[in-house]
Amino acid sequence: MSIVRLGTRGSPLAQAQARLAAETLTAQGAQVELVIVSTRGDTAQTTPLGELGPGAFASALEEALLADEIDVAVHSSKDLTGDQPAGLELSAFLERADARDAWCGEARSFGEIPVGARVGTSSLRRTAALRAARPDLTIVPIRGNVQTRLDHRATNDLDGVLLAACGLDRIGLDHEIGFRFPIETLVPESGQGAIALQTRVGDGGLVLAVDHLETRTAVMAERGVTRRLGGGCRVPVAAHAHRHAGGWRLIGWIGSPDGIRTLRHEADGENPHALVDTVVDRLLQDGGAELLAEGGV
């Protein structure tokens, strides 16, 4: 049996996620090895994420796939912001972990965060949502891997930092979490919490056996919302789909970078893909088109 080469970024979280993928594939009888690939997002640690543009954490892995240097690219689904490059496809999604954002600090609820608190985040979406809900907070841009960003609490005198809960869970740092934000307060990034396995077109059989249908259904609906809205690097957008009362609920969110204006709409139904146009059209009609235009999207 040939060995399946799994490409991954080199950060501790990325490698933990790749090991999860490897264990899942191994349980299905595959033989795997990990191949570390350096990405632009990993090497440009001091550059704000908004300036790196789309594909900062994914394009190098995709190039390695196209060059036949790896067989499968392991991605955080939220890093895959655009359409698939020619010749590649998203062949499997592992079962989703907690999609929520987490507060790492002393506060145990949103209301316990002190007035005027200093909060570290590198995310345009989190920044806008926090400013909209709590304009008294001071947002401090931070970059780096999970541990580096946690360390900023001490080095930058921060009251807390915001990170994806799933990442903290996956590398055993969940004890750092003060509380997890309700999805209604901070709509997660499209795909947050899900690990995507990308292959060359025609090679999907390498990972098809581990594809989790419910996760695929949710993430592809979320991607449908953010694909139609665009934004991301210049205008914060978000989407989240989850099972709700026997069906599905799809939430879409868009904001201005300063948090002065935010829009949120949701729809319920049996198929989240059928809800994408409803949610996006409501957002655009409610002022989203103007927000996107202001951002040059």
The answer on pLDDT for 54 being more than 50 is no
- How many alpha carbons fall within 13 Å on the CB side of residue 283? 31
Place 257 in a pLDDT band, splitting at 50, 70 and 90: confident
Residue ranges of the domains in the chain?
Answer: 3-94+194-211, 101-180, 223-294
For residues 29-52, give the mean pLDDT.
Answer: 70
Quote the pTM value. Answer: 0.91
> Which one of the listed residues 79, 98, 101, 159 is annotated catalytic?
79
Active site residue 203: no
Q: CATH 3.10.129.10: does it fit domain 101-180?
A: no
The answer on pLDDT for 46 being more than 80 is no
Place 55 in a pLDDT band, splitting at 50, 70 and 90: low
- What pLDDT does residue 83 have? 86
Q: Are residues 104 and 117 in contact, defined by beta-carbon separation less than 8 angstroms?
A: no
Integer Cα distance of 109 and 217 in angstroms: 31
- The proportion of the chain whose per-residue pLDDT surpasses 70, expressed as a percent, equals 92
- What pLDDT does residue 167 have? 96
Place 259 in a pLDDT band, splitting at 50, 70 and 90: confident
Integer Cα distance of 34 and 113 in angstroms: 41
- What pLDDT does residue 296 have? 65
The answer on pLDDT for 267 being more than 90 is yes
Q: Are residues 98 and 165 in contact, defined by beta-carbon separation less than 8 angstroms?
A: yes
Which structure tokens are listed for 282?
């409501």
Fold matches, 101-180 and 223-294: no
The answer on pLDDT for 1 being more than 70 is no
Integer Cα distance of 8 and 16 in angstroms: 10
Q: CATH 3.40.50.300: does it fit domain 3-94+194-211?
A: no
- What pLDDT does residue 73 have? 97
What's the CATH class of domain 223-294? alpha beta
- What pLDDT does residue 294 have? 83
